[in-house]
Chains A and B, each alone.
Chain A
Amino acid sequence: MRQFTGYDDAKKTAEFSAQGKLPAGAYVCKILNVKYEEGKDGFSDRIVLQLDIAEGEYADFYAKQYENNPNEDKKWKGVARIYVPNDDGSEKDGWTKKRFAQWTASFEKSNNGFLWAWDETKLKGLIIGIVFGETGTVINGRNVVYTEPRFPVEVERVRQGKAPEAKFVKKNGYEDAPKTSDDDFMKIPDTDEEAIPF
């Protein structure tokens, strides 16, 4: 039989839908790109890590997801953000400092010879363990569950299966309603990406 028009695009769409979301758990990740975003409206500055899974069954998960995404203005979904402390002495800032140091310590322990020297661009190309957790939210009136990076760990703990698990987080009035189809729990629409904190 003759191939019909649009088959390649339809196949990509089918593969994109079938890929599903990354299961919650700990993964060894590779940092592919680093950006520094200045905070707006009182929010902290952020170091944005664009990453992919580096090892195991889900290696290159985000690259495959990006490749199969049929949207014209698709975004790279493997993103973790490190909030930069304001150094304002507040209790909240103290927590931000601890989390920031947790990231830098995990990078140092995961990459032989690497020492954090206040240059975020040097994080590109490094590996790190990241624990991903599930978050339930409501988008366009529908319950959606997605997986997001929660906290860093050193890669050896991931490899040895000793990394802690992340709790399920509920946001925006998310209820444990029965899902209507697999897609509800698979894909975040690209248009809603900015609302998703990963």
Chain B
Amino acid sequence: MTPFEVEDCLSTMQIIVDTREQPSERAKRRYKDFSVPYVRQKLDYGDYSAEFLLNGSLTRIKAAIERKMDLDELSSCFTHDRKRFKAEMERAAADHGTMYLLVENATWENLISGKYRTRFNETAFFHSMTAWIARYGIRPIFCKSETSGKLIQEILYRELKERLERGDYG
């Protein structure tokens, strides 16, 4: 793909928001930080992905971002909702998709020292996270909630650009 074709494809990028992502006030603020259009569609994995026009057809990239609002929500993914969360990671892996785990209002330090409100043991939490990074290739990103929108767009843009430049789409 020439630099001009890459530029053309990038100019058509839009973000896909999974239909299960609740349209809360915080979500609306997040969407306001997008400088590209977004559409709500069902995603097989992750809460956010992206699509672009390739030879006149909308093409979805094999990368997604799973967003968690804090360490409490993330801890439940490794406990009560473990089966569902594991199935989602496996769908991403089966699709050869890159999966980011964006955790708002969180840091590694707070996770390791147990600074969250659930009773999930901090050592077990830490080991689950690192094991899943190794097992499913997930890419954890911790940030403040007000940074989420910008990060989501930037990550998806870079994923698309890299894939276009390395020739994934011809």
- Name A residues whose Cβ lies closer than 8 Å to a Cβ of B: 32-33, 50, 66, 76
Contact = CB atoms under 8 A, between A and B. Distances in A.
Contacts of A66: 3
Contacts of B3: 66, 76
B2 interface: yes
A155 to B, nearest CB: 22
Interface of B: 2-4, 7
9 contacts: A32-B2, A32-B4, A33-B2, A33-B4, A50-B4, A66-B3, A76-B3, A76-B4, A76-B7
Nearest to B158: A72
Nearest to B3: A76
A66 B2 CA distance: 11
Nearest to B157: A73
B11 to A, nearest CB: 10
A168 to B, nearest CB: 30
Given A33-B2, A76-B3, 7 more contacts: A32-B2, A32-B4, A33-B4, A50-B4, A66-B3, A76-B4, A76-B7
Contacts of A32: 2, 4
Contacts of B4: 32-33, 50, 76
Contacts of B7: 76
B10 to A, nearest CB: 10
Counting from the closest, the 5 A-B pairs by CB-CB distance are A33-B4, A76-B3, A50-B4, A66-B3, A32-B4
Nearest to A33: B4
A50 B5 CA distance: 12
B158 to A, nearest CB: 8
B157 to A, nearest CB: 10
A33 B3 CA distance: 10
Contacts of A33: 2, 4
A75 to B, nearest CB: 8
A61 to B, nearest CB: 14
A50 B3 CA distance: 10
A21 to B, nearest CB: 19
A66 B3 CA distance: 9
Interface centre among B2, B3, B4, B7 (most CB of A within 10 A): B3
A32 B1 CA distance: 13
A96 B7 CA distance: 28
Nearest to B10: A73
B9 to A, nearest CB: 13
Contacts of A50: 4
A19 to B, nearest CB: 17
A50 B2 CA distance: 12
A33 B6 CA distance: 12
B161 to A, nearest CB: 8
A66 B6 CA distance: 13
